[in-house]
Amino acid sequence: MKNFPISSSEITPKQVYLSRRDFIKAAGVVAGSVALSACGIAPNVVDPVSTENSVQPTEMIEKVNTFEEITNYNNYYEFTTFKEGVAPLAKDFETSPWSVEITGLVNNPGQFDVEDLVKKYQPEERIYRLRCVEAWSMVIPWMGFPLAKLLTDVEPTSDAKYVRFETIFKPSEMPGQRQPLYPWPYQEGLRLDEAMNDLTLLATGLYGGELPPQNGGGIRLVVPWKYGFKSIKAIIKIELTAEQPETLWNLIAPNEYGFYANVNPEVQHPRWSQRTERRIGEFSRQDTLMFNGYGDQVAHLYEGLDLSINY
């Protein structure tokens, strides 16, 4: 059994699928070529042999969160720490045109327009669980392409061991950045092999449409087996490095937010348990899964590493 994401249209009963199409229209989502596959039922553990007419057994199906939920309950400290307040504050934030600089230990550095990246790498739909370190979660139908495609093209040198990501710094439009409480700009990092894993996505859209500013447009990272804070938004710089990069949360509270930040129900946050989570839109809590349920694809990356120390 694998967790490889497939298009939700492949597993959604037609009736549900059709009513979702109406929902998507009502939500005003711009229909792209794949818009109609952004439906309301996501496989929990997706069985790649699923066909259009075979629906997963109930216990293996998870509901995709609604467009409303995904775009109105956000963590984005550059705007505000109040989750419901991000969308209104971000609504005029300019996300297009957007470009990303790729620099550091690569043979082909450069400045890349997101529009060109989209043309070149043809984003696909990936339905992923997002587990925030604060113990809430969602299921989100992203549009994006594997970071590995871009990294392969820029050719990391043999010295490159890590990838560092940096968010735009624009205090004139991002009121949270006018508060000196955090060491702006937001930065994050991955080991190069984590960055090259096929699950690691550069997201350019969701629900078949564009990536709303509150969700990290122009372009953001999505690393579904790690706590949500690793999935850095509004990236303007990607740097290949030899040393482990600093990360914003690790700088602020190294005992609470490690570099790895793999979802792990066994390692509790100093201030709360990570055993369960609250899925936005649902009442009861559910068990948190090791690696957020993506162990088949990523557990091998951590063989021999003590995850209770390397949290």
CB of 253 to ligand MTE, least distance (A): 13
Residues found near ligand MTE in the complex (CB under 6 A) = 74-78, 130, 132, 167, 186, 215-216, 228-229, 231-234
CB of 108 to ligand MTE, least distance (A): 26
Residue nearest to ligand MTE (CB): 228
3-state secondary structure of 166: strand
Question: What radius of gyration do the chain's Cα atoms show?
Answer: 19
3-state secondary structure of 115: helix
**Under 8 Å between Cβ of 129 and 233:** no
Place of tokens 């990838």: 163
CB of 46 to ligand MTE, least distance (A): 21
Measured from the CB atom, is 43 or 176 closer to ligand MTE? Answer: 176
Measured from the CB atom, is 56 or 265 closer to ligand MTE? Answer: 265
3-state secondary structure of 190: strand
**Closest among 286, 301, 300, 297 to 131, alpha carbons compared:** 286
Measured from the CB atom, is 21 or 182 closer to ligand MTE? Answer: 182
Measured from the CB atom, is 17 or 142 closer to ligand MTE? Answer: 142
Helix axes 147-154, 114-121, angle to 10 degrees: 100
CB of 76 to ligand MTE, least distance (A): 5
φ, ψ dihedrals at 67, nearest 5°: -55, -40
3-state secondary structure of 219: coil
Amino acid at 142: W
CB of 47 to ligand MTE, least distance (A): 26
Measured from the CB atom, is 38 or 232 closer to ligand MTE? Answer: 232
**Under 8 Å between Cβ of 2 and 48:** yes
CB of 221 to ligand MTE, least distance (A): 8
Look up residue 15 and give its two tokens.
């009736």
Place of tokens 């557990």: 299
CB of 58 to ligand MTE, least distance (A): 26
Measured from the CB atom, is 139 or 196 closer to ligand MTE? Answer: 139
3-state secondary structure of 138: strand
Q: Which helix (H) or strand (E) holds 33?
A: none
**Under 8 Å between Cβ of 239 and 104:** yes
Measured from the CB atom, is 35 or 263 closer to ligand MTE? Answer: 263
